[in-house]
Amino acid sequence: MTSKKIVETLQWMVLIVILITMVLVAVSGYRSSVNAQNTSNTQRRELSYISNKIHEMDVKDAVKIRENEDGDILVLIDRTDMGEYETRIYLHNGTLHEEYVDANEELQPQNAGIISKTKKFDIGMENGLMRIETDSGKTFVLLRTEN
> How is residue 58 annotated by DSSP?
-
Measuring CA to CA, which residue among 71, 69, 120, 68 is closest to residue 94? Answer: 120
Q: Which pLDDT value is given to residue 43?
A: 66
Distances (CA, A) of 145 to 52, 61, 75, 77: 15, 8, 15, 13
For residues 29 and 9, give the distance between their C-alpha atoms in angstroms, rounded to a whole number: 30
Q: What is the mean pLDDT of each run of 10 residues along the chain (147 residues)?
A: 86 94 92 82 82 90 88 93 94 93 91 91 91 90 78
Q: Which pLDDT value is given to residue 37?
A: 82
For residues 44 and 137, give the distance between their C-alpha atoms in angstroms, rounded to a whole number: 9
For residues 96 and 73, give the distance between their C-alpha atoms in angstroms, rounded to a whole number: 10
